Amino acid sequence: MADTKTLTGLHYSPAMDEKTHEQTYRGFVRFVEIGTVTVLCWVTALAIGGVHEAWVTAIIGVLVSWVAAAVGAFVPAIGWKAQAFVFAALLAILFLS
């Protein structure tokens, strides 16, 4: 049976470490956001290589997205925004060249 003493709704039980739980959750969400935008950058870079036969540009786009991912991972205030800029640049290359 379920222990109803720990189901308080909005509060953590005394046995749970609230601060660690919240940090882990924020870290997971940041990882998912950064990972999602990174994959979008990679797919766009592959489209650039496939459509325009510009494989060097595609490789550079992937490398720059990795750097942006590292910056976003180590600077939480930036997060996925660094890769969003790379993604926008890759989309501009894809549609404007």
Domain segments of the chain: what residues?
Answer: 36-96
The CA distance from 73 to 82, in Å, is 10
**Rounded CA gap, 5 and 84, in Å?**
44
In eight-state DSSP terms, residue 17 is -
Question: Which pLDDT value is given to residue 16?
Answer: 74
pLDDT at 1: 46
Contact 73, 34 (CB under 8 A): yes
Instruction: Among 23-27, 46-50, 79-83, name the most confident range.
Output: 46-50
pTM, to two decimals: 0.81
- pLDDT, position 65: 97
The amino acid at 47: A
Query: 7 pLDDT exceeds 70?
Result: no
Residue 8 confidence (pLDDT): 53
The answer on pLDDT for 28 being more than 80 is yes
Mean pLDDT of 44-60: 97
